[in-house]
Structure 1
């Protein structure tokens, strides 16, 4: 027996949020006519600031439901879109051709497009309401996100649906979607150009940035040679990608690069271009930014949030079409740079793994530089730069140690506040002014300080015992800033070699090193603290993701099938949906935890000795750890020989 199709509540996991929401509002408005099973023509005004194409796709999906559910013949239907991009003089002709259609939905983007001819033809004329939180909850549930919280639904309903659709990727928790949208709020202004910059540091003045700085200085020379006609445009790099955590100075790099190159700076981002309106408006804004850079060449075109354009290989549903059109337009603009002499593109991202691979090919963003947060020496240099002639010859080590994790912008703000305090006191600046301008530091209790030392020394000792990355140093903090931010109270710093054969043993060793902090705490205290897990950069989380990638990415597990995507949310979803995968990951973690515990137990004396030294000095170099471990090994070998 054939069941009656559910025409007014269709469900498809393949539809993106924008279409799902449009489907909810269309179903509600057309429900009486769909239930009657009769012919109708509906003229509907879509909400302002929405993409009419999403409503068109939803209407097509809605009217095509009988055909999908294999009702004999289905209904002969049509969906017509009338907006600024469709020629108005052809509207009558388009409507006249619909007299044989049983069901017709005509979508308009403004009231003036409701022509007399359309009013004569329509059985129902209405206005679709903008999406509300209830619509968002229904759409999210249909997409497989489950029952989302009211506050999350209200937040999403207040956002631009195209941005929300970009964030709501299959397998990504709704909490992460909300966090992404809050982290990257819409930017109202569109692209802007800064010409003939004279203020601010040049790249030569900035400390840090490593290979990216070297590349930038070479680019400055190349552009100077281009002006002097010593080289042609074909001899110059066209673009780079900068990746690194928020606050690492990617935007500052682009500004300083433009000054060093004596070039204009044009700034854009996916968010700023999306703020221009619908898909067509976004693409126009994007192309306008490239044209602006060409007009003011030589120019640096800085594109922030480069990962926001998405990846065509992972986009699904309606988002796949949107993502494809955006990236194709971006590729067209990047390739056009070959004819636009003097324009260099600098992309910036916090998530390089989410970028479409085609954007990173030669001739586009052909080089990738990772920008780390400033280390001790770099922060000292940054303080000296912003201080200028003030505090010359003064010891800033205490100031630098308390600025762990700070960006260059945070250091500039601190110097500015300290200078203001000295000015108010009508005297020259003192080191104490810098310290006063910093958040209050709270001493870490001695027992917690020793626990941190034991934990970090577990990482360091195992890093010496197994073959993986090279240990540089290990350190702990004696105090923490009185802020709400997550802070690193200690670290064992390793360096990845330029050429490393990364086998299953290499990754297993890395997992063991990550788990060695927990193992060390358990050996000394009988248990470990909560700092080892609970956030993406925590030891347990990193080890879990690495163990998962052993199974699904590099072919070291039970299957040779490889999954390219490796961002944490995706790996988490894979584990939640594949119990057998979770079992294998747990086995790997247990095995490496037992291994790390066994090795550290054999070196317990040196573990506790080095932990005390770390508490005393705050930092130990790799050579100090290596010598202590080697000495302990010799002692153990001598003891075993005597027993034998």
Structure 2
């Protein structure tokens, strides 16, 4: 959360008609609870967690789940401060705050029954049972402290903000903060004590990001670019420590992908993980400065600011807007000067040590080729839309909740084609719905935001299970790669044709393909309908129609094998790849050869399915139960149902022989 939202939370604890009582001003001689810096931090976290009850005289009983052990004493004081802000207590009356593990004491039971509002604190090791959820109006996780919270605390106490001290307050346990920031001791002296007596396991120089938000560890589904980012973070650490020169740092990269795939989110995570500042620029902001001279001046200013904050990251968005100097546009002279100026800054003629330039674009083919030459932005990563597991991980990051299997199935189906930004918006809408109903955020609120889904019949789902099990079994039996996941869905999006099941598998390593490899690929495509044919006596129409459908793909491979690879009945290459469909349509003999090849592979696959029917049935039954199997689970089922073979290495003994 940023500073503005943070201050809104703090100020929202009193209704607008009355002046708030900020917690940092509550420590008067007649106040029972002294507000130290860690208590102030804990108060802010409680105010964020208990936001639905931040109103005058609200009545509630909540259990706040703390994220760190040993923090109950500080949060107890902070919770009392919070309750005093919510309601007026008579002199001598103490707001009810208690450790959940001590809830059964006679005094606590008596007091909580008499109280309109109560807060129980639960440490991580304490388990919550059904009794807890019956008793409490809500069970809420208290968020972890962030840099924004610490900076706000420093500002209120008039302390200078340094990366070292911010990092110290983020890393130190609550118990040590409680001992250092005592009543009557100045915050400056408390910070000196913490520096003077560091923890034995405290990192020597832990980098602190300049902005809040995710880290690279949260970037699920981003692929190799995350590995590059982790390498960059290590290189920057080594550069800071003097172990390497800046020339050894990979200081330029290009990101591409559709709008909304999370390129900007990745940049925030990269800056956080590297512990550096991020300076943001784009063509549109630089051009808005005015003429070409103003454009170049704004661009140079962004590079100069990045250099001033080095080591830092300069993020150049909309890089494809530069276009090419050879576009033939009437503004060629403008673009030529703009790109030349950008290349000059990339090459570092004015000094670029300590500055990593990351450019992002939607259409990489529109970039001037000179921008991607060696030493500039020659390294390129494409960020695609997140896959199924990545979408679940992104939801968990933005909402903090995990869906149960049924909800996960609906979510994965309804969010097919969603970007990271789409899922972030979905989580935001779910939180809003939960707030409106004064409920704790759960999977129910997430599912309510999804597109309308229709539950499929058991017969339909079983047909899906048989089809995908057939694909998986054939992959395993012919050795055409390794199955990593099999999944089917019980739901379909109303009015939308979408994938209801799939088998994910890694193909054989990079090598030249033979005729056998192409035939195996055809066999895998036909595995689904072969399984349907074996189990039901016929197969459904879902295996054909679209370009990616099983029969369409098998026909394409067979056509290519016969006509474009010289691996059919003759070495002759019939036609270019893009003309083979025409050849199949107008050449009956060629069409017959493609048909024969498909029929031969279909017969082979049916034989495999028939001989391994028990394994197929076992995979189907497990899919009907779980709707998702890992590759290891499929391999285990296939191995467990493998038919024993008779060894001919030894002749069987005759009856009566010893």
TM-score by length of 2: 0.50
The equivalent of 1:256 in structure 2 is 269
1:424 aligns with 2:436: yes
Q: Quick one: which of 248, 253, 258 aligns to 1:235?
A: 248
2:597 aligned to which of 585, 591, 596? 591
Structure 1 segment 516-531 matched on structure 2, within 5 A: 516-523=527-534, 524-530=536-542
Q: Deviations over 1:36-76 (max 9, x none)?
A: xxxxxxxxxxxxxxxxxxxxxxxxxxxxxxxxxxxxxxxxx
Shift of 1:424: 1.3
Distance 1:285 1:556 in 2: 62
Equivalent position of 1:127 in the other structure: none
Seen in structure 2, the aligned counterparts of structure 1 residues 478 and 366 have a Cα distance that, compared at 3 Å, is same
Aligned-residue offset at 1:587: 4.6
Write the distance in 1 (CA, Å) between the matches of 2:316 and 2:487. Answer: 36
Residue equivalent to 1:613: 622
2:399 pairs with 355, 378, 387, which one?
387
For residues 585 and 249 of structure 1, the distance between their equivalents in structure 2, rounded to whole angstroms, comes to 46
Higher normalized contact order (CA 8 Å, seq sep 6+, divided by chain length): 1
1:465-510 superposed Cα distances (whole Å, 9 cap, x missing partner): 223321112110111234x554321110112466555444334422
Query: Within 1, Cα distance between the matches of 2:591 and 2:223?
Result: 36
Q: Which runs of structure 2 are paired with 1:482-493 in the superposition (5 Å)?
A: 482=494, 485-493=496-504
CA deviations over 1:444-472 (Å, ceiling 9, x no partner) = 12222122222212221111122332111
Residue 463 (str. 1) matches residue 469 (str. 2): no
Partner of 2:427: 415
| 1:494 alignment partner in structure 2 | 505
Secondary structure of 2:347's match? helix
User: Structure 1 residues 541 and 603 mapped into 2: Cα distance closer, same or farther (>3 Å)?
Assistant: closer
Q: Tell me how far apart the structure 1 counterparts of residues 563 and 239 of structure 2 sit (CA, whole Å).
A: 48
- 2:457 is aligned to 445
1:204 to 1:530, Cα distance in 2 relative to 1, 3 A: closer
Deviates further, 286-295 or 622-631 = 286-295
Contact 2:325–2:339 under 8 Å retained in 1? no
User: Alignment partner of 1:403: what SS?
Assistant: helix
Does the CA contact (< 8 Å) of 2:317 and 2:360 recur in 1? yes
The aligned residue for residue 53 of structure 1 is: none
**Structure 2 counterpart of 1:25:** none
Q: Which residue of 2 aligns with 1:216?
A: 229
Per-residue Cα deviation, 1:497-545 (whole angstroms, up to 9, x for no partner): 665554443344223313333443445442431454324x444455556
In 2 relative to 1, CA 319–578 (structure 1 residues): closer, same or farther, beyond 3 Å? farther
Q: 2:492 aligns with which of 463, 475, 480?
A: 480
Distance 1:625 1:573, change over 3 A: same
Tell me: CA distance 1:395–1:428, structure 2 relative to 1, closer, same or farther (3 Å): same
Residue aligned with 2:433, SS: helix
**Rounded Cα–Cα distance in structure 1 between residues aligned with 2:618 and 2:363:** 40
**For residues 545-586 of structure 1, what are the alpha-carbon distances to aligned partners after superposition, in whole Å with 9 as ceiling and x for unaligned?**
6567668987867568999xxxxxxx6567458979998698
Aligned-partner Cα distance in 2 for 1:290–1:413: 32
Q: Deviations over 1:263-315 (max 9, x none)?
A: 4354658xx79x99xxxx9x999988965653342434455696996999xxx
Q: Does 2:414 match 1:402?
A: no
**2:543/2:551 contact within 8 Å kept:** no
Query: Is the 2:531–2:609 contact (alpha carbons within 8 Å) kept by the matching residues of 1?
Result: no
Aligned residues of 1:519 and 1:593 also touching (Cα < 8 A): no
Contact 2:542/2:549, CA 8 A, preserved across alignment:
no
SS state of the match for residue 524, structure 2? helix
1:339-398 CA distances to partner (integer Å, 9 max, x unpaired)?
Answer: 24455454667888999998766434444545565456544443332235xx5xx76444
Between the aligned partners of 2:590 and 2:361, the Cα distance in structure 1 is 33
State how 1:334-345 maps to structure 2 within 5 Å.
337-339=346-348, 340-342=352-354, 344-345=356-357
Aligned-partner Cα distance in 2 for 1:328–1:511? 53
Change (3 A) 1:257 1:533: farther
**C-alpha distance in 2 between matches for 1:458 and 1:619:** 15
Whole-angstrom distance in 1 between the partners of 2:331 and 2:521: 39
Q: 1:511 to 1:578 in 2, by over 3 A?
A: closer
- The 2-side partners of 1:305 and 1:586 are apart by 51
- Within the alignment, does 1:434 sit opposite 2:446 as a pair? yes
- Find the counterpart in structure 2 of residue 625 from structure 1: 634
Counterpart residue number, 2:303: 294
Distance in 2 between residues matched to 1:450 and 1:520, nearest whole Å: 12
Taking the aligned partners of 2:557 and 2:299, their CA distance within structure 1 comes to 39
Segments of 5+ residues of structure 2 without an aligned counterpart are 1-208, 307-311, 648-658
SS of residue paired to 1:491: strand
| Structure 1 residues 630 and 225, CA gap change in structure 2 (3 angstroms) | closer
Report 1:181-196 matches (<5 A): none
C-alpha displacement at 1:239, in angstroms?
A: 3.5
Q: In the superposition, relative to structure 1, how do residues 319 and 579 fare at CA in structure 2: closer, same or farther (>3 Å)?
A: farther
Query: d(CA) in 2 for partners of 1:586 and 1:285?
Result: 68
TM-aligned CA deviation for residue 237 of structure 1: 1.6
Compute the TM-score of the two structures, normalised by the length of structure 1.
0.51
| 1:603 alignment partner, SS class | helix
Using the TM superposition, give the Cα deviation of residue 429 of structure 1 relative to its aligned residue in structure 2, in angstroms: 2.5
Q: Cα gap change, 1:624/1:574 in structure 2, threshold over 3 Å: closer, same or farther?
A: same
Unaligned ranges ≥5, structure 1: 1-195, 313-317, 564-570, 639-644
2:208 corresponds to 1:202: no
